[in-house]
Every structure is written in C-alpha cells, then in structure tokens.
Amino acid sequence: MNSVDMTMASVACIGECMVELRQAQGGHSTGQAGQGGGLYSRGFGGDTLNTAVYLARLEVKVDYLTALGDDALSDEMVAAWNAESIGTRRVVRLPGKLPGLYMIQTDAKGERQFFHWRDSAAARQLMSLPETDELLNSLMSYDIVYLSAITLSIYDAAGRERLFAAIKRARLLGTRFVFDTNFRARGWPDRDVAREVFAAAFAAADIVLTSTEDLLALYPGESHEQLMARIPTPELVFRLAEPVSLLRFPAGTSEVRAEPMTKPVVDTTAAGDSFAAAYIAARLGGADPLEAAQAGHRLASLVICYAGAIIPGYAMPPKKRHRPATTRQATK
C-alpha cells in the first residue's frame, strides 16, 4: 500500500454504536429477582466505533458512517465522537428513532453475559434511506473503507448487496476495502448465511483482518492453512489464539509475534479493534505488513491492560512521524 500524508489520509468506518449498560463494580447479580446489586453504568460501545477512536488518536482522519436517532443519547454519542476528532458529517439522524442498547451482566466469578435490544435501532436502516445513495457515493472519496462482519449482520441482503456494489465502484478509483471478520453468531439468522456473506466480503476486500476465534466458529475443525486458503485477498492478517499473527501478502508470508506482556491483563475488550486501527494507520503511513502487524500487537497489548474498550488518552503510545505521501492508485 502506498504511503499517504496522514493529515490528508481518510478512513470511512461503517457500523453501529450502541448504548452500553455495564454492571457497576461489586454489583453482580445473584440470579434471583429483586436481589443482587442491580447498579449499572451507562456508556457507548461498538466494534468499528472503537477502531475509529483509535484511528483518530493515531492522527488518521476518520469519519464514522452510521444512523442515529434524534434523541438525547444520540446527541451524546455525536458529541463524544467529535471530542475524539472523529468526523460525524456522514452520520444520518432519523427522527423518532433510537440507537440500539446492550447490557453486560457479570456473575460473582466475573463471567460475562450479553443481552441486546437492537432490532429497531436506527443504524439498521442505513442502507435503505433517502440519504443512502449520497452516503455510498462518498465512499470513493476515502483512502480506506473499513467495516466488520458485525456491520454486515445488521443489514438485510439487499442492503449488503448495495454496500458491496458501492465498495466495488470506489475501489476502481483507488479506495481500499479492509474487512474485519469480527463474528458474533447472534447477529446472523444461521451460519450458512454468514458464510455466504463472508465469501462475498473476502472476494471484494484488499485487506482482511481475521482470527482463529472468528473463522473456527464458521468452519469448525479446519487447519490454519485451510482457513487462510478460503480468503483470496492479496493481504491477510490471521491472528492466532496465542499472541501471534500469520501474514500473507504479495511479497511473501511471515509470522509476527507480540512482545511478552509486562503488565497484567485487565480486560480484553477491543483488543482486535485497536489492532485493526494500528495496522491501518501504519499501512497508511507507509509501513509494510510486518511493521503494521507489530504496531497492531503493541497497541492491543496496551489496550488490554485497562478496563473497557477505550483506554485513557494519556495511556496512548507516543505519536510517530510518518513517511512522505505518494498518490494512491486505482484497482486494476
């Protein structure tokens, strides 16, 4: 991937951010009605939104593409994204709609269980609005379009087809499509549908970021080689269960191992999301895939030392200078 001026580089992250209710510390449920802590803190969460935050903190120009309601919670989300220097010009606001909501419930042993209320969330309508054509046409103005399997799971078949068609048009003008296989079974009607959509995304992508956790859930029992062979994209990052990535790119294949942890792991939330941000930022800055994967592991190893998806700003690694810009090239 050619390097670009990071003050001009632009990434479109497409997805959904939801209201998050997380049990307050020490307020685990006893499993009996009317008992237990019952105290929850409210925040916001979403895989592609997490990646957008880390991209912005790595000084990449990024817009978040989604739909929200016209309610106070949606206002808070937009304000928080603006505070992180995430562009919100592509956020569609729908009168009378609301964002989705999920709750994290934790038992006395720390095991987590998730509950979702998102069937009527505004983000699910993003591919079927009067504004959709304009939004999809804007994709060709970005250096990279980034989305995840969770993003694809919230649209119907027609919406996904519309999105893929727009991405293919944008690629003709040099936009790169990065697909993250963040797979959550609850978001799909069945695994056959998910496999079909994954195959379409693999065929359209320039870079695929994936993991054994995601792919073995869809293709159980297959070896690493078999799983990687399913993905024809020229650039592939395959994260293993241990902190190791297998890379495949036009110049060859390689293995990148994360440096040993020196601090205790607190929360693995957003490890993959932050890896994706650091990888994309490094590739935009002219790094080769090995250097980009090393950057991904470094940021992910830092993020998991803090509670929650987004670490404090002061904990971010020092900023690096990026290489001079060159012009992006269209896909041939």
Q: Catalytic residue positions?
A: 273
Structure tokens at 183: 């797979």
For the beta sheet containing 235-239, the strands, ordered from the edge strand earlier in sequence to the opposite edge, are: 91-94, 61-69, 10-14, 144-148, 176-180, 207-211, 235-239, 244-249, 252-257
Total Cβ atoms within 10 A of residue 174: 15
∠ CA 318-320-321, rounded to 5°:
150
Distance from the first to the final alpha carbon of the chain:
14
Q: Hey, CA dihedral for 33, 34, 38, 44, is it positive or negative?
A: positive
Distances (CA, A) of 249 to 235, 236, 272, 283, 286: 4, 6, 20, 13, 15
Total Cβ atoms within 10 A of residue 123: 27
Structure tokens at 273: 């999301």
Question: What element of type H or E holds 301?
Answer: helix 289-303
∠ CA 118-120-124, rounded to 5°:
80
